Amino acid sequence: MINLLIGLAAGFFGGLVGLGGGVIMIPLMVGILKIGQHKAHGTSLVALVFTGISGAFTYALNGSMDIWASALLASTAIFTARAGARFANALPEWKLKRSFGGFIILVSLILLLKPYLYHVSEPATGWLEMLVLLSTGIFTGFLSGMMGVGGGTIMVPSMVLLIGFTQFTAQGCSLLAMVPVGIVGAYTHWRLGNVNTSILPGLIPGILLGTYLGGSLAHIMTEEALRVIFAAVLIWTGVRYLRAPKPQPDVKSIPAEKEDRS
């Protein structure tokens, strides 16, 4: 039941704001289920595949989908997702979390200021639009595999700010693109032993239901309110990453001095 509720919460917020739900799921798995950070990242990537499927289906039913844009995003992201998953095992997690936290807070602030940033209001078209999507996929795939998230934190702002997509279409494209990206990243983490398969039967049904509910609610709300909610989730996530504690150096016991023999 706990696994089901975690999946429901992650799926709902993922469907609502176009994220994979990893930013919700990973802290809950680590804090409640006491799963190690690496296994939480790998398990999250497995689960977000189902978030992407359910969420993309819901957004497509509401006409908020651009399959061509999703394909371009995924075409480069699937190659860097594997590298990101392996990189997560090689670097200290606290350094990765702090830098990523600062980045997504900056992105959220830019997103909130979009109506006032006239120089980014002209959307990219043609070859420039294709280049933006391919470049976004490269960066997104790496961070997705590394951090165990779907990559919506990067894909959605990029499509909204640089290409001129509506918030709804950007979120739908993000959810669809994260399906193949999540599969590649999850497989790599599974090969590295970073997937807890025992909790998946509870997580996946909750994610499917939660994503459908969140995606349906997203189309009832205004785009302005949705952008504010999206930015709030990003800021909350970024603060958590920035507060990641730096591990203390091991304190080696100092051997007691030998007493002088009389």
* CB 46 within 8 Å of CB 183: no
Tokens of 97: 């979390």
* pLDDT tens column, 127-181: 888 998 999 999 888 888 887 777 777 788 788 878 888 878 888 888 899 899 8
Other beta carbons within 10 Å of 222: 9
Query: Which pair of structure tokens corresponds to residue 170?
Result: 């950007």
Retrieve residue 47's tokens: 């689960």
Quickly state the pLDDT bin for 114 (edges 50, 70, 90).
Answer: low
Instruction: Domain ranges for the chain, please list them.
Output: 2-242
Q: What is the value of pTM for the model shown? A: 0.72
**Taking all residues of the chain, what is their mean pLDDT, rounded to a whole number?**
79
CA dihedral angle for residue 66, residue 67, residue 73, residue 74, rounded to 10 degrees = 150
Residue linked to tokens 């398990």 = 43
Highest mean pLDDT: which range of 82-86, 158-162, 250-254: 82-86
Q: Which of 91, 88, 109, 255 is closest to 188 using CA atoms?
A: 88
Give residue 157's pLDDT.
79
Per-residue pLDDT band at 25 (split at 50, 70, 90): confident
Rg, the chain, Cα only: 20
In degrees, rounded to 5, the angle at the alpha carbon of residue 88 between the alpha carbons of residues 86 and 91 is 115
Name the helix (H) or strand (E) containing 230.
helix 223-242
Confidence band (pLDDT; 50, 70, 90) for 259?
very low
